[in-house]
């Protein structure tokens, strides 16, 4: 399984970023290889619009199965859903904690966006 987590930093000990589209980084954890890949999201941090869709395309290109972040806007949610990527909300801890919860199937999978578009 491949798990993408929005992150404020580049380490597993970094805090989960509450934003999806404008997160600084995504840490992609591969359960088979037991390693992380850092994916910079700097092209979307300050973009005027479309950050959620572009971020969804970036994580979909990494063949992830689930994305974890604090919040998802409607366009990002639809883009992830269309790519058959599960979405889970979690923002109260570290990337490592989010990964462990995902591995144990202890995250709530979302069925809709939880914030309006252009939320920051």
39 located within any domain: yes
CA separation for the pair 70, 91 (Å, rounded): 4
115 located within any domain: no
pLDDT digits (tens, 9 = 90+) for 17-49: 998 988 999 999 999 999 999 999 866 555 555
Q: Is the pLDDT of residue 106 over 70?
A: yes
Domain limits at 72? 2-103
Query: Per-residue pLDDT averaged across 72-82, rounded?
Result: 92
At 112, is the pLDDT very low, low, confident or very high (cuts 50, 70, 90)?
A: confident
| Number of domains forming the structure of the chain | 1
- CATH number assigned to the domain comprising residue 16: 3.30.420.130
108 located within any domain: no
- The answer to whether residues 88 and 68 touch, using CB atoms and an 8 Å cutoff, is yes
Q: In terms of DSSP bridges, do strands 86-89 and 66-69 run parallel, antiparallel, or are they unpaired?
A: parallel
The pTM assigned to this predicted structure is 0.89
Q: Mean of the per-residue pLDDT values for the chain?
A: 89
pLDDT digits (tens, 9 = 90+) for 41-60: 866 555 555 678 889 999 99
Three-state SS annotation for 74-86: HHHHHHHHHCCCE
Q: According to the model, what pLDDT value does residue 45 have?
A: 53
At 91, is the pLDDT very low, low, confident or very high (cuts 50, 70, 90)?
A: confident
93 located within any domain: yes
120 located within any domain: no
């Amino acid at each position: 399984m491949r798990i993408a987590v929005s992150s404020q930093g580049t380490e597993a000990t970094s805090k989960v970023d509450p934003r999806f589209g404008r997160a600084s980084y995504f840490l992609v954890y591969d359960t088979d290889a037991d390693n992380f890949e850092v994916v910079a999201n700097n092209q979307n941090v300050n973009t005027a619009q479309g950050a959620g869709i572009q971020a969804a395309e970036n994580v979909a290109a990494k063949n992830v199965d689930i994305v974890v972040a604090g919040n998802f806007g409607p366009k990002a949610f639809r883009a992830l859903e269309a790519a058959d990527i599960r979405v889970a909300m979690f923002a109260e801890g570290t990337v490592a904690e989010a990964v462990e919860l995902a591995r144990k199937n202890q995250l709530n999978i979302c069925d809709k966006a939880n914030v309006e578009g252009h939320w920051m």
